[in-house]
Amino acid sequence: MNLDRRTFLKSAAVVGASGMVLDAEGTKPMDAHGPQAWSLKMVVPIEPGIVCSDLERMLEFYTGVLGLKKVSDAEATPEMSRAFRAAPDGFRIVRLQTPYGERVKLIQTKMRPLKKQPLTEWTFERHGISYITFVIADMKEMLARLNECKVKLVLEEPLEVRKGFVALFALDPEDNYIEFVEYQDPASYRPDLFKWRQFF
């Protein structure tokens, strides 16, 4: 399908130096809350789930190293789990909360896990949902914590991807990629979250 330039510009977007999503001309910020045909009506923050081989080891990492708070630990019966098409013999699910309110779910089943995803030379070689991003306040503090806890890093040092935007990939105990990001001006990256705040 061929698009003329005007149609393309209406549908395209670029990322500005601050990390804000701009229109294709790079001049006006695109409003994530602007009118559109249909949108999810979410009532709580997004909750990624990680199926684990060793839940206790993963729990220690996400609570002990990253400081997420354990908020629930539950067992699903085989009957419910089968009806839900989650696992044949039930599962354990632990919910961990970030300081910002999102929750990461760790899940362990009695099934033999499928072949573990191999470590790749490039983070984006993995297909599908490949990593979780934590936008943090202090990259130096985060790097010191990761080194202190002997967490595997993809690079030894954070990289300034563009001016005011520093990022670092690390690996959790089961080699899931985690991205840590620091924005010099987080309000310009997510004005929708900061417009109602007086102070940061």
Domain boundaries, the chain: 44-112, 120-200
What pLDDT is recorded for position 181?
A: 97
| Residue 89 Cα to chain centre, angstroms | 29
What pLDDT is recorded for position 4?
A: 45
Q: Is 44-112 a domain of CATH 3.50.50.60?
A: no
Is residue 18 within 8 A of residue 185, CB to CB? The reply is: yes
Range list of H helices, 50-183: 55-59, 78-83, 139-148
What pLDDT is recorded for position 116?
A: 77
What pLDDT is recorded for position 2?
A: 44
Assign a CATH topology to domain 120-200: 2,3-Dihydroxybiphenyl 1,2-Dioxygenase; domain 1 (3.10.180)
What pLDDT is recorded for position 196?
A: 63
Mean pLDDT by 10 residues, the chain (200 residues): 42 49 57 75 93 96 98 97 95 96 96 80 90 96 98 96 96 96 93 69
What pLDDT is recorded for position 195?
A: 74
Antiparallel, parallel or unpaired: β 165-171 and 159-162: antiparallel
Q: Do domains 44-112 and 120-200 have the same CATH topology?
A: yes
| Residue 64 Cα to chain centre, angstroms | 19
